[in-house]
Amino acid sequence: MGWVMAYNARFIMFEQLETRLSEALRKLKGISQLTDANMAETLAEVRSALLDADVSLEVAKEFVEKVRVGSKGSAVLKSLSPGQQVIKIVYDELVSLLGGNTSGVNFAKKGPTIILMAGLQGSGKTTTTAKLAVHLKKEGYRPMMVSADVYRPAAREQLAVLGAQISVPVCNAEGINDPVKICKAALAALKDENANALLVDTAGRLQIDEDLMAELERIKKEINPAEILFVADSMIGRQAADIANTFHKRVGITGVILTKLDGDARGGAALSIKTVVGAPIKFSGVGEKLDQFEIFHPDRMASRILGMGDVLTLIEKAQEAADEEEAKKLEKKMVSGDLDLNDFLKQLRMVKKMGSLEQLVGMIPGVKIPKDAKIDEGDLKRIEAIINSMTKEERQNYTIINGSRKERIADGSGAEISDVNRLLKQFVQMKRMMKGFGKGAFNVQGRV
């Protein structure tokens, strides 16, 4: 999606960690032989990067040791230099640290699937419940929601409003003020609503206390949920993992949903939870809107952290925004590197259907965005004007655009020749990256 490269945007997911790891691993590029000296220096910087990302010392030490042992015991692949091999090992260990495999909802084998949502107050639990309901609808399920929070003012009303927005029924259990009885009433109402999944939004607390845990235990016993999902605010870092572990010891959480991941510059929560708790991260909230909710893919997240982008998610978003035939053509052209400026313009016009540019930028391999940059909608119009000022032949074959043609294009679009040069340069870079990605799911050269 090369058009994104023409914009300045702010997208800070794991920004700090990505920068530090990239700096540490860049030193290994091009080296012909791994030595104890160059490995020790690099691994010390990797450990420091993880600690600065709010990962616990124990987790960071174990991670670095696995990379060190893997680097010594691994045969260098013919397609990779020794330095690139280390980067691949770091990638593999990051995937493992983030959970290894992608995990979805564990649906009940028989009867309705009950999902208990747990977490502290302020973690975004109620909104996340609605987001999960939207996701289940897309998967073909018929969810119903209920609020068992009888303490927070207007908590039940908030869920009712969200339910109306997403067209998901909400059991109001009017006149009942006991959380366990509310859940029991919701179970009885499932059949009337023709629902096959129940999402239970429980009460949170500003801090963990015995009353909260005891209440969750009673609810769990009553409804026997297939899933107990802990909703964690990723912005509080490693502390989220410690809190999740406390919940896990009492009620046995089966998975984690990280909220506010789009604003997490460090990544301590995501990098610590699987090791500390043992439960996988299943979903992540990446924005305030109810559709800004994603399945958590450890391999794709590891790619983002190492500055390799997330082309697979980008393609999926494109497929959602385009019809099936167009999506297949786009995917084929992206991985073959055969995009021309006509495709570039089509992608530009698709942008509003695909979500925020801040998120899309983070999926482009090799793109570095200024930390405090902002999106300028004028850039969108300027790029479109530049391409519209090109002839049919120029769009199909950018290599014929010489100096006089650039001058004509700039005059016709009201832009500067430097703007035309910048657009063409970024377009060529994007084609090269997409072609490189098409050669294999993991191609480390030139990405870190």
344 is a domain residue: no
198 is a domain residue: yes
Confidence of residue 125 (pLDDT cuts 50, 70, 90): very high
CA nearest to 448, candidates 95, 7, 83: 83
- Predicted confidence at residue 112, as pLDDT, reads 94
- pLDDT higher than threshold 90 for residue 127: yes
Residue 113 forms beta bridges with which residues? 197
From 49-53, 68-72, 210-214, the region with the lowest mean pLDDT: 68-72
Is residue 152 within 8 A of residue 262, CB to CB? The reply is no
- pLDDT higher than threshold 90 for residue 6: no
From 75-89, 290-304, 396-410, the region with the lowest mean pLDDT: 75-89
The SS3 call for residue 256 is strand
Per-residue pLDDT reduced to its tens digit, 7-44: 333 345 677 888 888 888 877 776 777 777 878 888 99
As a whole-number percent, the residues of the chain with pLDDT over 70 amount to 78
311 is a domain residue: no
Domain that residue 160 falls in:
113-296
410 is a domain residue: no
Q: What is the DSSP string of 183-250?
A: HHHHHHHTTTTT-SEEEEE----SS--HHHHHHHHHHHHHH--SEEEEEEEGGGTHHHHHHHHHHHHH
- Predicted confidence at residue 238, as pLDDT, reads 82
CA nearest to 50, candidates 103, 100, 93: 93
Distance of CA 331 to the CA centre of its chain: 20
- What is the CATH classification number for the domain harbouring 224? 3.40.50.300
146 is a domain residue: yes
Confidence of residue 399 (pLDDT cuts 50, 70, 90): very high
The SS3 call for residue 293 is strand
Confidence of residue 156 (pLDDT cuts 50, 70, 90): very high
445 is a domain residue: no
- Predicted confidence at residue 330, as pLDDT, reads 66
CA nearest to 137, candidates 111, 167, 177: 167
Mean pLDDT of the chain: 81
190 is a domain residue: yes
Count of domains observed in the chain = 1
436 is a domain residue: no
- Predicted confidence at residue 372, as pLDDT, reads 47
From 228-237, 301-310, 432-441, the region with the lowest mean pLDDT: 432-441
